[in-house]
């Protein structure tokens, strides 16, 4: 089992009502095997994004444990663990630093982990996602949502993560771009056996893309049959 979330809970203190707890996620139990795509299906506000953030090591759980390959994960993630679990968000326009040309953001994974880097390597990588060198020199404001989301994916995959948390990655894209993104994700999964935690509120997309689905409603997670 690649990843296991056990009794994961996130609470917030309620503003009014004098210290009453608000359960964003309550006792979530989720498993993720190698090479599978697990869906978190629910309405907005149901807690699925909160759960995704905790799985990605970006939000500290109030209680519960996260296991990656049977090792208990401490918050925040560090080292190989940090590299292996990555996340894609819903809004491509703010997935890159708006003040920098794309190339400055795209080189970071290479330099952070001492991966071999040259401009040519970078360009070859992005071309597999339908982008060209001229895109790299533009700022995020000059690129479309589809281009930015593909660039975000290209950037993450340089790290060859084993787990990707995908928080509504295609809901801001048109259907054709969405289909292309899903295709790219499928290719990567076939190639590396990566696991995906796919968060969505789109039922038909969920059914087509996911192997197993958890229903998320008001913080409660239940496995669908």
Partner 1 sequence: MKKRKKVNIPVLVGSLIIGFFVVIAIIAPAIVPYDPSETSALTYGKPSPEHLLGTNDVGQDIFSELIYGTRISMVIGIFAAVVVTCVGTLLALLSAWYGGVADKLITGLTNLAMAVPGLALTTLLVCYLSPGILSIVVAISITAWTGTTRVLRSQILALKEEPFVKIEKAIGQRDIVIMGKHLLPNLKDIILSRGAMAVSSAMMTEASLSFLGLGAFGEKSWGAILHYAFFRNGVVRGLYWWYLPPILCTSLAVLGFMLVGYYGQQKR
Partner 2 sequence: MLEINHVSVKFSADSDVQAVEDVSLVLPEGSKLALVGETGSGKSVLLLAILRLLPETAQTRGDVLLDGKSIWQMKRKELDKIRGAVISYVPQGGGEALNPLMRVGFQVGEPLMEHKGLSRKEAEAKSVSLLKKFHLGDEEALARAYPHTFSGGMRQRAMVAMGIAADPQIVLADEPSKGLDEKRVALVAETFQQLGEKSLLCVTHDLLFAGKISDHICVLYAAQQVEYGPTEKLMSAPLHPYTRDMLLAIPENGMEVDKAGFAPAHTGYENFGCRYRHRCKDCMEVCKKMPPLFTVGDEKVRCWLYADASGTADKDL
Among 82, 83, 104, 201, binds partner 2 (CB under 8 A): 201
178 binds partner 2 (CB under 8 A): yes
Looking at beta carbons only, is 95 or 195 nearer to partner 1?
95
40 binds partner 2 (CB under 8 A): no
| Alpha-carbon torsion angle 65, 71, 76, 79, nearest 10 | -170
202 binds partner 2 (CB under 8 A): yes
76 binds partner 2 (CB under 8 A): no
Q: Which residue has the tokens 């990843």?
A: 3
Q: Write the CB contacts of 108 (distance below 8 Å, at least 6 apart in sequence).
A: 155
User: If you ran DSSP here, which 8-state letter would residue 36 be given?
Assistant: -
* Shortest distance, position 173 Cβ to partner 2, whole Å: 8
Query: ω into residue 215 within 30 of 0, thus cis?
Result: no
Q: How far apart are CA 211 and CA 194, in angstroms?
A: 13
144: partner contacted, choices partner 2, partner 1, none (Cβ within 5-8 A by kind): partner 2
Among 147, 152, 154, 163, binds partner 2 (CB under 8 A): 147
160: partner contacted, choices partner 1, partner 2, none (Cβ within 5-8 A by kind): none
Q: Which residue has the tokens 């060198």?
A: 133
137 binds partner 2 (CB under 8 A): no
Phi and psi at 93, nearest 5°, equal -65, -25
142 binds partner 2 (CB under 8 A): yes
Looking at beta carbons only, is 5 or 153 nearer to partner 2?
153
State the CB neighbour count (10 A cutoff) for residue 198.
Answer: 26
Q: Which residue has the tokens 């894209």?
A: 173
Cα angle for residues 161, 163, 166 (degrees, 5° grid): 110
Segment interacting with partner 2 (CB under 8 A) among 47-55, 67-75, 104-112, 197-205: 197-205
Give the CA distances from residue 57 to residues 22, 71, 141, in Å, rounded to whole numbers and listed in that order: 21, 14, 28
179 binds partner 2 (CB under 8 A): yes
Segment interacting with partner 2 (CB under 8 A) among 6-14, 51-59, 68-76, 137-145: 137-145
Binding site for partner 2 (CB under 8 A): 43-44, 130-131, 138, 142-147, 150, 172, 174-180, 182-183, 201-205, 207-209
């Amino acid at each position: 089992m690649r990843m296991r979330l056990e009794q994961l809970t996130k609470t917030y203190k309620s503003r009014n009502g004098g210290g009453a707890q608000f359960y964003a996620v309550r006792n979530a139990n989720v498993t993720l095997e190698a090479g599978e795509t697990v869906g978190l299906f629910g309405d907005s506000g149901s807690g699925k994004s909160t759960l995704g953030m905790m799985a990605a090591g970006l939000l500290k759980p109030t209680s519960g444990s996260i296991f990656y390959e049977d090792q208990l994960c401490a918050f925040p993630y560090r080292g190989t663990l940090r590299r292996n679990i990555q996340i894609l968000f819903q809004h491509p326009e703010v997935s890159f630093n708006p003040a920098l040309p794309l190339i400055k953001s795209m080189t970071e994974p290479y330099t952070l982990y001492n991966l071999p880097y040259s401009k040519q390597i970078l360009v070859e990588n992005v071309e597999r996602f339908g982008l060209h060198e001229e895109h790299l020199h533009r700022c995020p404001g000059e690129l479309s949502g589809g281009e930015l989301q593909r660039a975000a994916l290209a950037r993450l995959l340089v790290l060859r993560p084993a787990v990707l948390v995908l928080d509504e990655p295609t809901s801001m894209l048109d259907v054709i771009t969405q289909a292309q993104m899903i295709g790219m994700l499928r290719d990567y999964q076939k190639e590396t056996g990566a696991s995906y935690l796919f968060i969505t509120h789109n039922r038909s997309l969920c059914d087509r893309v996911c192997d197993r689905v958890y229903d998320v409603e008001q913080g409660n997670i239940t496995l669908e049959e």
